[in-house]
């Protein structure tokens, strides 16, 4: 979709810092950790997503000729520095958790080691990409969890924060287990199932509801889902039954009906009864309209006989928590662990690893935040993904991430899986990391 040159999608201070590093020869090896200080409220876990876009970006990192001209035109940077930028590529190393991995506060899901200037310039894109993909992935995972085995599909494109976010919603919800997306561009690019049949405008344009149903069924006799709430739902259902009978007489089966307004619990019961009474037991009841994990859970708790949820805006915007407080912090420079002491924003120094232990039943018993070189008889979440600016393995798609996430969710303690008032885990910290941290802290305090 996008041209290869994305390097200018960065914060201006990355360039001013880089310029000063360049002028003073401060461009040694640096390590940065990407993590969230806190699991957002109402989340029992976070879900790693966006890594594939990050790796692709790093492999293709460069400034275009026009961007270089622009930077020169600002009159702020030396000729030597801008010339350096013109030839710059990313040659660093990345350790990261595979997409679909579940994680918690303070746990870095990506650590990047590179020359200080390279690491600094890529920060903004990496944080942006991991943030928006992971934030939506956690929201979508909760929706799919609430649906308890029933199908969810992505209807979010019209109210996401732009087309990027719509694309991320389609991909992240696929990772979460959604069965399709209304987003045709994303379906094409990602090999997802495109879903959707009709809006209210179809019935309004035809004018007569029964006629509208029949016309649609003629065009798509094997893919008919009728929207029954444009005028009066009970009458709409009765007409859908008539259309289904016409289809059946021609050897086709209506797939189902959709409800998009009103009391979805009551209306879904009416729909199920009407369909069953007409012998259409296999026709599906689909609902949509401001759905999220809370409403899905409430509908199912009320016994609403719903087969499929069209989940839109509130998932694609992650409406109750539209961002995660991801941050990208310098944790080592020239082999020396570093940290900042800013109030309420402490970072863990040094290159790290997260070790995850499981009990006999396969449930997570705890995570331990360690230094990278420490060993533990547990699962290491961070894996080497890139070296010398090149991927260490071919790209993996959303389907692989979906498998990772499915296994991760199955291993979560019950407290993390609650839809309301979940309790995330918190990692313990290895004695060695704590020691390194204390030393770095003393050194910083002495400054």
Site for its own copies in 96-155 (CB under 8 A): 116, 120, 123-125, 127-129, 131-132, 135-136, 155
Residues 397-436 that bind its own copies (CB under 8 A): none
Is residue 257 within the footprint of its own copies (CB under 8 A)? Answer: no
- Contact between 152 and 179 under an 8 Å Cβ cutoff? The reply is yes
CA-CA distance, 63 to 70, in Å (whole number)?
A: 10
Q: Are strands 428-429 and 390-391 parallel, antiparallel or unpaired?
A: unpaired
- Sketch the per residue contact string, 296 through 315, with its own copies: x for CB under 8 A, - otherwise: -----------------x--
164: contact with its own copies by CB under 8 A: yes
Q: 144: closest CA among 394, 432, 410, 370? A: 410
- Give the footprint of its own copies on residues 218-247 (CB under 8 A): 218-220, 223, 229-232
- Least separation in angstroms between residue 169's CB and its own copies is 9
The tokens for 66 are 């026009």
Q: CA dihedral in degrees (184, 186, 189, 191; nearest 10)?
A: -80
- How many whole angstroms separate alpha carbon 86 and alpha carbon 65? 7
Cβ neighbours, 10 Å, residue 407: 13
Site string for its own copies, 16-55 (x = CB under 8 A): xx-xxx-xx-x---x-x-----------------------
For residues 77 and 20, the answer to whether their CB atoms sit within 8 Å is no
308: helix, strand or coil:
strand
Give min distance, CB of 11 to its own copies, in A: 4
**Hey, what long-range contacts does 292-295 have (CB within 8 A, 24 or more apart)?**
292/139, 292/143, 292/319, 292/320, 293/139, 293/142, 293/143, 293/145, 293/146, 293/419, 294/146, 294/419, 294/420, 295/264
Count of residues touching its own copies (by CB under 8 A) = 112
- Rounded to whole angstroms, the Cα distance separating 254 from 271 reads 14
Nearer to its own copies, 219 or 249 (CB): 219
**Which of the ranges 66-74, 105-113, 295-303, 413-421 carries the binding residues for its own copies, by CB under 8 A?**
66-74
Contacts to its own copies from residues 264-283, by CB under 8 A: none
284 binds its own copies (CB under 8 A): no
For its own copies, the closer CB: 318 or 353:
318
**Quick one: which of 103, 101, 89, 108 has its CA closest to 31?**
108
Identity of the residue, 189 or 410, whose beta carbon is nearer to its own copies in the bound complex: 189
- Establish if 4 lies at the interface with its own copies (CB under 8 A): no
- Put residue 311 in one of left, alpha, beta given phi > 0 → left and psi -120 to 50 → alpha: beta
Q: Compute the distance between CA of residue 46 and CA of residue 37 in angstroms, rounded to an integer.
A: 12
Can you tell me whether residue 232 is helix, strand or coil? Answer: coil
Binding segment for its own copies among 84-92, 160-168, 379-387, 413-421 (CB under 8 A)? 160-168
User: Does residue 445 belong to the site contacting its own copies (CB under 8 A)?
Assistant: yes
Q: Binders of its own copies among 338-377, rule CB under 8 A?
A: 338-345
Q: Which of 102, 168, 176, 285 binds its own copies (CB under 8 A)?
A: 168
Q: Which stretch binds its own copies (CB under 8 A): 298-306, 334-342, 387-395, 427-435?
A: 334-342
- Closest distance between its own copies and the C-beta of residue 246, in Å? 15
Least spacing, CB of residue 400 vs its own copies, in Å: 22
């Amino acid at each position: 979709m996008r041209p290869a040159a994305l390097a200018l999608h960065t914060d201006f201070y990355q360039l001013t810092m880089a310029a000063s590093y360049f002028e003073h020869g401060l461009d040694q090896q640096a390590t940065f950790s990407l993590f969230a200080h806190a699991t957002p409220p109402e989340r029992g876990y976070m879900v790693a997503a966006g890594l594939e876009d990050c790796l692709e970006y790093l492999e293709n990192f460069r400034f275009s000729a026009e961007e270089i001209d622009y930077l020169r035109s600002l009159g702020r940077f030396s000729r030597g520095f801008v010339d350096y930028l013109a030839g710059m590529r990313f040659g660093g190393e990345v350790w990261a958790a595979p997409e679909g991995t579940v994680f918690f506060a303070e746990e870095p899901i990506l650590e990047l080691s590179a020359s200080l200037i390279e690491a600094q310039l890529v920060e903004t894109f990496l944080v942006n990409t991991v943030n928006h993909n992971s934030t939506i992935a956690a929201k979508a995972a909760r929706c799919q969890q609430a649906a308890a085995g029933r199908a969810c599909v992505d209807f979010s494109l019209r109210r996401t924060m732009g087309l990027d976010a719509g694309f991320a919603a389609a991909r992240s919800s696929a990772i979460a287990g959604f069965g399709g997306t209304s987003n045709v561009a994303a379906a094409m690019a990602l090999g997802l199932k495109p879903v959707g049949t009709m809006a209210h405008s179809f019935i309004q344009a035809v004018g007569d509801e029964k006629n509208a149903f029949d016309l649609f069924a003629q065009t798509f006799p094997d893919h008919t889902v009728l929207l029954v709430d444009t005028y009066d739902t009970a009458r709409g259902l009765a007409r859908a039954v008539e259309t289904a009978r016409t289809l059946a007489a021609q050897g086709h089966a209506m797939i189902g009906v959709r409800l998009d307004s009103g009391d979805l619990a009551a209306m879904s019961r009416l729909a199920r009864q009407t369909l069953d009474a007409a012998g259409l037991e296999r026709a599906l009841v689909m609902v949509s309209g401001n759905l999220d994990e809370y409403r899905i859970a409430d509908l199912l708790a009320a016994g609403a006989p719903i087969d499929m949820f069209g989940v839109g805006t509130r998932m694609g915007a992650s409406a109750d928590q539209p961002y995660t407080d991801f941050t990208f912090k310098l944790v080592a420079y020239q082999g020396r662990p570093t940290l900042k002491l800013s109030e309420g924003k402490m970072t863990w120094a040094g290159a790290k690893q997260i070790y995850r232990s499981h009990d006999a039943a396969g449930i997570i018993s705890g995570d331990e935040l360690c230094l990278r070189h420490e060993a533990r008889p547990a699962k290491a979440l961070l894996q080497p993904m890139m070296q010398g600016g090149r991927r260490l393995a071919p790209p993996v798609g959303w389907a692989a991430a979906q498998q990772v996430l499915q296994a991760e969710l199955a291993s979560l303690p019950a407290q993390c899986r609650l839809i309301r008032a979940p309790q995330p885990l918190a990692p313990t910290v290895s004695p060695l990391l704590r020691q390194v941290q204390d030393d770095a802290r003393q050194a910083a305090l002495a400054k």
